[in-house]
Structure 1
């Protein structure tokens, strides 16, 4: 079920909160098992056939961790991580690799039409983080319920944020509704949920209407002028931000209502003044994962400049592949790796750049490369680039009002987390959010409900 659906907002969430409160109040020792069952129920609603995969993933990885703790055999962890990646590759990348194999003369690899289990990329990365830290002696042993909850906790199981075990496991031991700030935390969680819904429904989904129409024309080879191409490029740039940051706000808010603080995932990325600064602000938990568990493992900055630049490019290319099984995603990631490498060389040369110029170059680079990400094929991307650079249709037609509003909110305004935690606790704020929530519900009822973009990754 979608966070922005009636069945979730008016059905699952209030029931889950009530059950959680009753258990926490009268049988606190049942709280974690019940929260795990609620999470598995939430996941099963999408497609019950995927639930056994999630359960098996949790149980098998937990048994591997147990075997490692008892035997101390280092080989168990690399084998488990490899097995996790193989499962991910089978479901998400099998046809992609089959197409690559078919480029070899004489080979004929068949396709498998497998449905992609929701959240498989995210819960696979959670396993990798824990197992890697376990092997390094950083992570302790956890029982099956706690480990299962770390992997399957429903606010973050489908699309993150990517949470390290050290950020969340200790919170499962708390009595969240016994805290002196319990009511305030619950209220601010509810406000985050409402703000995220508003960003998704009023900004992300509206921009999708403007953007999808342009890319549909590009897919059919229709004429696209500069204004239309600019509308498509900027529209998707702001759409993906409000869609994914809106989801993250909802995830953080829902988790807070259950007494768990999840890490932030966005910090005004469109105000970044360099590409490195951008990736410290955009999908922050993924950037952190790629840095700590891939870039450093590939050598990082410890083995000379050439290795550093190669590791950067490879890390970002693999990060692009993580987003989808297609060469457009790989190229998009690799371009960011090249951009980050150029920034490393720039800094090592001792060169500087005015902040406003750095911001303009960073934002322009992201918009232009995101066209490849969104297009789905190089042909469609080339068609969009032709229009954008004046080689398409004549005229300059653009729906600018939605773009200006989106730019102002994403570039000038504070983050949702900052706003929510600075708002005073009074009745007028509560009334304002109640009205906003009601309006959002009416809007959800009137319009088509778009899935979150990152659910497909």
Structure 2
């Protein structure tokens, strides 16, 4: 079930909302929380009911480990429980997400013929596994309380953030679920929630899914791309991913606000960054937080000398790459970001400060090129696209004079007598417009902070929703979010 689907918007969400607050109204608070857990599990199992047993089993395992650890004062027992808890989560994630990847590489290196499992990646496994690893480690450190299983289960499964984050901490979520002041409908939160949700919905359906047409077509036809088409392909994916993930984050925040729950900010105008360290303070902020607190610091952080610090940086970025996907393209992408982060640190020692425009341009160019590895299905495909992007040809002289051949499968789409999706007179300005929006416009979090219910705001919400319905109807699109794959 997708946030942008009719069954979610017109059936699941309003029914859950009304029953949830209805139960609170008659003081059946535990029943209301139980309803939210069951609804979240229904939401999760909509894709594949089989994996319902996986997430429930994972919750029970981690809750028992945490409960036993909280009640134990014996250091050996606590160390053993910590080891078993982290190992259990890593093995679960490793088997479903990385088994085939490691087997393929083992078969290649040792000329073996171990059979692949061809496992279907369980939805959200990377997110709920990392959340529970953090819970186990925090319990070991004495930073958790003896939570009830109901509130713990809701912390893991809460549907607005279950599928693609943010990766939340128990201490920022469970107290909210136990806060009785949040058990009543709050009109201000409903209005704010609808406002930011509608922005996110428009980002996803109206913007990201449009860029997806050119990105997907380009990567599917990488061998035949011209110089211009190769750059349109890479930049289209760069903007598709931006508005897709940004849209999801907005929608998650908006949905949570409907239930009076505040989620942590996970996305804050990352393409405005002037170096790669700043980028990671703005992009998938809760993943950066997790890797910093639960991997970088335990490895020693920057406390064990300069070269050990650089090694630790490479490790956490390589892990970040692997977390996103089981493939060498993701490892290369993560490692490139690690190297770039080290370069920024070394450059900082020179005390030379580049003008903002230059530092921004270098950073954005690096991010755009690195996304090629992130999106490519193989290293070979990525290198082919790079070759096209840095080989000048005649296409640069005829940018607006001929249709885009790489998007020819969309030539049948016509509106008002124009083949919009293959017409560079539309594609190029569309790309430049939303690149400018990502760089110059206030982001949705800033808009939410300044939000005031008034006529202009209502009009903005209506425009977003109408545009979503129009694009969905015209292009017949109802696509998943990109981070569902990670």
Between the two proteins, the alignment pairs up a number of residues equal to 452
Counterpart of 1:110 in structure 2 is 115
Give how far 1:445 is off.
Answer: 3.3
Give how far 1:357 is off.
Answer: 1.4
Counterpart of 1:268 in structure 2 is 269
Counterpart of 2:412 in structure 1 is none
1:429 paired with 2:442, answer no
Counterpart of 1:185 in structure 2 is 189
Give how far 1:403 is off.
Answer: 0.9
Counterpart of 1:452 in structure 2 is 481
**Structure 1 vs Structure 2 CA RMSD:** 1.6
Distance 2:268 2:477 in 1: 29
Q: 1:104 to 1:215 in 2, by over 3 A?
A: closer
Q: 1:440 to 1:104 in 2, by over 3 A?
A: closer
SS in 2 for 1:266: coil
Give how far 1:348 is off.
Answer: 2.7
1:327 paired with 2:356, answer no
Counterpart of 1:167 in structure 2 is 172
Distance 1:436 1:373 in 2: 29
TM-score, reference length from structure 1: 0.95
Q: Is the 8 A contact 1:316 1:337 kept in 2?
A: yes
Give how far 1:60 is off.
Answer: 1.0
Distance 1:164 1:153 in 2: 12
Q: 1:79 aligns with which of 64, 78, 84?
A: 84
1:255 paired with 2:259, answer no
Counterpart of 1:195 in structure 2 is 199
Which ranges of structure 2 fall in alignment gaps of 5 or more residues?
Answer: 400-423
Q: Is the 8 A contact 2:176 2:182 kept in 1?
A: no
Q: Is the 8 A contact 1:176 1:182 kept in 2?
A: no
Give how far 1:44 is off.
Answer: 1.3
Counterpart of 1:5 in structure 2 is 5
SS in 2 for 1:281: coil
Q: Deviations over 1:248-268 (max 9, x none)?
A: 100110011011000111111
Q: Is the 8 A contact 2:107 2:114 kept in 1?
A: yes
Q: Deviations over 1:19-70 (max 9, x none)?
A: 1110121122322111111111111111111111110100111011111122
Give how far 1:451 is off.
Answer: 1.1
- Kindly report which structure 2 residues correspond to 1:30-429, keeping only aligned pairs within 5 A, or say none: 30-72=31-73, 73-74=77-78, 75-175=80-180, 182-218=186-222, 221-222=223-224, 224-390=225-391, 394-396=394-396, 397=399, 399-429=427-457
SS in 2 for 1:71: coil
Distance 2:380 2:451 in 1: 48
Distance 2:90 2:195 in 1: 37
Q: 1:57 to 1:408 in 2, by over 3 A?
A: same
Distance 1:169 1:178 in 2: 14
Q: Is the 8 A contact 1:266 1:281 kept in 2?
A: yes
Give how far 1:352 is off.
Answer: 2.5
Distance 1:245 1:89 in 2: 27
Q: 1:2 to 1:308 in 2, by over 3 A?
A: same
Distance 1:152 1:265 in 2: 18
Q: Is the 8 A contact 1:252 1:262 kept in 2?
A: yes
